[in-house]
Amino acid sequence: MASGDGKDQRNPKDMKALLKFCLEATKDEDAKSEEFAPMDEERKKWLEQALVGMSVSPVQRMRTCIECLKNNQSSEEERSQAMEELIEWGENIDYATDFHKIGGFDLFPRLLSDEEAEIRWQTLELVACLVQNNPYCQNVVLQNKMLPVLLEMLDKDDNSTVKTKALYAVSCLTRDCEEAQKVFTDNDGFSVLMRAMQQDVEKLKIKAAFMLSALCNNTPDYKDILCDIGMIDQLVGHLNEEHSNFHEHVMSAMLAIVRNHPRSVEECQRSELDLHNVLQQRIKFLTGNEQFTEEKSYAEEILQLISSEDSLGEANR
């Protein structure tokens, strides 16, 4: 018997009931117009979810993928397809938690050391999906001491895609997670970022600089660590290289460090860096090119900060 609140009509239990609902829900609109009209987004989303819910059990599908990855007889294509499906499920925070509860995390030690680079980077992408904005999975990863492993892969894996995906996983884990950031700093994570920016992989370099900026903006206390390890010197060194898209992110990172941090300003003012001249030349080079508007604004603000501190120091003397 149907309940008075219409709950049974909104939640069909099988395909026949679903089709009946769709016909009843659209017959009024069909009666008003003979022309075809696209289904509105809300109804479309509900229908897609209803179809998936009746035809697929996410937990069962994840179990199937896990078994495929455990099976030594599975082909590389089968394992890769299983990883792709797990990544899709892992983007949902509830399914990500379920993945851990059904033993999925037990696969990580084996998969992260797999001889196939594709499996390694797919595993790293899965880790990133699982931990992004998901405190439950973040805690599990930290408890299993996976972050040092991710940093090791970022630093030393011989495949550039693996390195980039490792950085992605580290970024997703440490973003807005103080405990993960502590583990990151305790394991010399900033030095790992520094070395990542020395790689000949533009995507990796840009992402490393972007993460550096984000960490400095969110937690200014890190700026002293960066001065200690010589990050200012490295960033200025990058600015002396042939210009590329990477330089916008270098400027952004340098500005994030220098803002409201006198020690960083003093580092930038060291005569051997010749940063005043580097910035002035860069601003001149970028002037009139709309593509580099952001980089030019960063350079101008850095120059203003280190120049105003110079003037202040001379006045005090």
Which is higher by pLDDT, 117 or 13? 117
Same domain, yes or no: 61 and 137: yes
Instruction: Kindly state whether residue 125 falls inside one of the protein's structural domains.
Output: yes
Same domain, yes or no: 119 and 70: yes
Which pLDDT score is estimated for 312? Answer: 44
Contact between 179 and 219 (Cβ < 8 Å):
no
pLDDT at residue 29 greater than cutoff 80: no
Q: Residue ranges of the alpha helices (H) in 5-107? A: 7-10, 15-32, 41-55, 58-70, 76-90, 93-101
Same domain, yes or no: 233 and 181: no
Among residues 187, 203, 237, the one where a domain terminates is: 187
Same domain, yes or no: 60 and 182: yes
Among residues 187, 203, 235, the one where a domain terminates is: 187
Amino acid, single-letter form, for residue 229: I
Same domain, yes or no: 85 and 138: yes
Q: DSSP letter string over 189-210?
A: HHHHHHHHTTSS-HHHHHHHHH
114: left (phi over 0), alpha (psi -120 to 50) or beta: beta
Q: Kindly report, residue by residue over 254-307, the tens digit of the pLDDT.
A: 999 999 999 999 999 999 999 999 999 999 999 998 999 999 999 999 999 999
Burial annotation 208-234 (CB, 10 A radius, 16+ → b, else e): bbebbbbbbeeeeebbebbbeeebbeb
Which of 180, 192, 181, 263 minimizes the C-alpha distance to 228?
263
Q: Quick one: which H or E segment has residue 217?
A: helix 202-218
Which pLDDT score is estimated for 39? Answer: 72
Instruction: Kindly state whether residue 308 falls inside one of the protein's structural domains.
Output: yes
Same domain, yes or no: 179 and 233: no
Q: Is 293 helix (H, G, I), strand (E, B) or coil?
A: helix
Same domain, yes or no: 80 and 160: yes
Same domain, yes or no: 254 and 151: no
Q: How many CB atoms lie within 10 A of CB 271?
A: 7
Same domain, yes or no: 80 and 148: yes
Alpha carbon distance 92, 104 (integer Å): 15
Q: Kindly report, residue by residue over 98-140, the tens digit of the pLDDT.
A: 999 999 999 999 999 999 999 999 999 999 999 999 999 999 9
CATH number at residue 105: 1.25.10.10
Alpha carbon distance 267, 235 (integer Å): 12
Instruction: Kindly state whether residue 96 falls inside one of the protein's structural domains.
Output: yes
pTM, two decimals, is 0.80
Which is higher by pLDDT, 14 or 95? 95
Contact between 131 and 172 (Cβ < 8 Å):
yes
Which pLDDT score is estimated for 7? Answer: 42
Instruction: Kindly state whether residue 215 falls inside one of the protein's structural domains.
Output: no
Which pLDDT score is estimated for 314? Answer: 43
For the stretch 84-91, contacts whose Cβ atoms lie closer than 8 Å and that sit 24 or more positions apart, written own/partner, are: 84/122, 85/61, 86/62, 86/126, 87/122, 87/125, 87/126, 87/129, 89/58, 89/61, 89/62, 90/126, 90/129, 90/130, 91/129
Contact between 216 and 223 (Cβ < 8 Å):
yes
Same domain, yes or no: 174 and 274: no
Same domain, yes or no: 183 and 228: no
Instruction: Kindly state whether residue 149 falls inside one of the protein's structural domains.
Output: yes
Q: In which band, very low, low, confident or very high, does the pLDDT at 42 lie, cut at 50, 70 and 90? A: confident
Which pLDDT score is estimated for 78? Answer: 96
Q: Kindly report, residue by residue over 58-76, the tens digit of the pLDDT.
A: 999 999 999 999 999 999 9
Which pLDDT score is estimated for 176? Answer: 87
Contact between 265 and 307 (Cβ < 8 Å):
no
Instruction: Kindly state whether residue 193 falls inside one of the protein's structural domains.
Output: no
Among residues 137, 161, 187, the one where a domain terminates is: 187
Instruction: Kindly state whether residue 239 falls inside one of the protein's structural domains.
Output: yes
Contact between 75 and 62 (Cβ < 8 Å):
no
Which pLDDT score is estimated for 40? Answer: 77
Mean pLDDT within 53-60: 77
> Per the structure, how many domains does the chain have?
2
For helices 160-174 and 117-131, what crossing angle results, to 10°?
A: 10
Q: DSSP letter string over 266-290?
A: HHHT-GGG-HHHHHHHHHHHHTT-G
pLDDT at residue 57 greater than cutoff 80: yes
Same domain, yes or no: 73 and 157: yes
List Cα–Cα distances, 217 to 9, 254, 291, in angstroms: 51, 11, 24
Q: Kindly report, residue by residue over 169-214, the tens digit of the pLDDT.
A: 999 999 989 999 999 999 999 999 999 999 999 999 999 999 999 9
Instruction: Kindly state whether residue 26 falls inside one of the protein's structural domains.
Output: no
Which of 310, 206, 305, 203 minimizes the C-alpha distance to 252?
206
Structural domain including 273 reads 224-317
